[in-house]
Amino acid sequence: MSHAEEPRKRSQVPVLSRRTLLSGLGFAALLPNLSALAQEPASPGATTGNEPQAVSQLPLKSTGLEHMGTVVPDVTAAGKFYGRLFDPELYKEKDPPLRYYVRLGIGYLALGSRANQPHAFFDHFCALVQDYDAHAMAEQLKAEGLPAGRYGIIPDPDGIGFQLLAAPGGLAKTTESAGRIVDGEALVRPRRLAQVVLHVADLDRSLQFYRRFFGAESQPRRHGDSHFFQIADTRLVLEAGASAEPARVERIVINVEPFDPKAVSRELTKLGAHVTSHSKQGLRFTDPFGLQMQLRPV
């Protein structure tokens, strides 16, 4: 995860290395410890009762949603697919395991793997925050009965990773150029991550969770049981998922420069994607690994 700051070590909670987290194992390993972290007592003498009241960290002063973390079964294949789609000049972690970063103009798509995980999914999404104080945020979340998370990642009610990082964000210092791993130019020119759509198990519970961070949501859409939070120039959408389906990041929307939807659709099909719709208003597809995405010309 980019720019994640490792909190100070405490004896009752195991400390994972940044490398373990980046391998794709980290977030899953954190989940069993979150309740313990949330209930961890303050260190003796941490407060005297005479300190000035801390400034509330919530709701967030966010500059928008910045990047998506993914778990894929084949990092190299995913890097080649998204390099051809968005940007042939990839970045990677300096040290193993292999993890690619594909720039989206503002923000990026992180491609990692997880041991014994054959299915692709969006592992987490990230919001950038002005004047972000990670320690103060953790203390406030614990005081409000929420898991404080670690490395800036907070599990939402469905266990979806919601990451907070300080603005202006960008790739971490642990990354380096991977060069061009595909031939040819990008199929589209991305501008930024524009929208993240969650399918949630309990809409009311998830709305209450995200209201703490972003304030009141905008008016529900006219069609379907769907709500959204406008976060600067980006949007977080919550939809009630089908009872038989697991809660998840259902799809993401990328703003791109205007493009020829028919031509891009043909090339995506050649690369192994399944295009579900395309028009002048955009193109929606499922990538070769099962991730759903929409390209929206702006």
> Looking at the 3D structure of the chain, how many domains does it have?
1
The arithmetic mean of pLDDT across residues 89-111, rounded, is: 97
pLDDT of 200 reads: 97
Does residue 22 surpass a pLDDT of 50? no
Domain assignment of residue 225, yes or no: yes
Closest to 247 (Cα-Cα) out of 202, 206, 205, 200: 200
Domain assignment of residue 25, yes or no: no
pLDDT in tens, 102-131: 999 999 999 999 999 999 999 999 999 999
Domain assignment of residue 256, yes or no: yes
pLDDT in tens, 240-291: 998 889 999 999 999 999 999 999 999 999 999 999 998 888 999 999 999 9
pLDDT of 280 reads: 80
Domain assignment of residue 40, yes or no: no
Domain assignment of residue 151, yes or no: no
pLDDT of 12 reads: 33
Domain assignment of residue 158, yes or no: no
Domain assignment of residue 154, yes or no: no
pLDDT in tens, 196-216: 999 999 999 999 999 999 999
Q: Which domain holds residue 226?
A: 62-126+169-297
Domain assignment of residue 14, yes or no: no
Peptide bond into 44 cis (omega under 30): no
* Helices (H), ranges, the chain: 18-22, 26-38, 75-85, 134-143, 203-214, 261-270
Residue with tokens 């000035």: 52
Closest to 238 (Cα-Cα) out of 225, 252, 219: 225
- Tell me what the pLDDT averaged over the chain comes to: 85
| Contact by Cβ (8 Å): 237, 223 | no
For the domain that residue 78 is a member of, what is the CATH number? 3.10.180.10
pLDDT of 28 reads: 44
Q: Please list the residues that pair with 236 across neighbouring strands.
A: 196, 229
Q: Give, to the nearest 10 degrees, the angle between helix 134-143 and helix 26-38.
A: 60
Least confident of 116-120, 145-149, 293-297: 145-149
DSSP string covering 196-234: EEEEES-HHHHHHHHHHHH-S--PPPSSSSEEEEEETTE
What's this model's pTM, rounded to 2 decimal places? 0.82
The rounded distance, in Å, linking the Cα atoms of 2 and 163 is 10
Q: How far is CA 180 from CA 38, 88, 104, 108, 170, in A?
A: 43, 5, 16, 16, 20
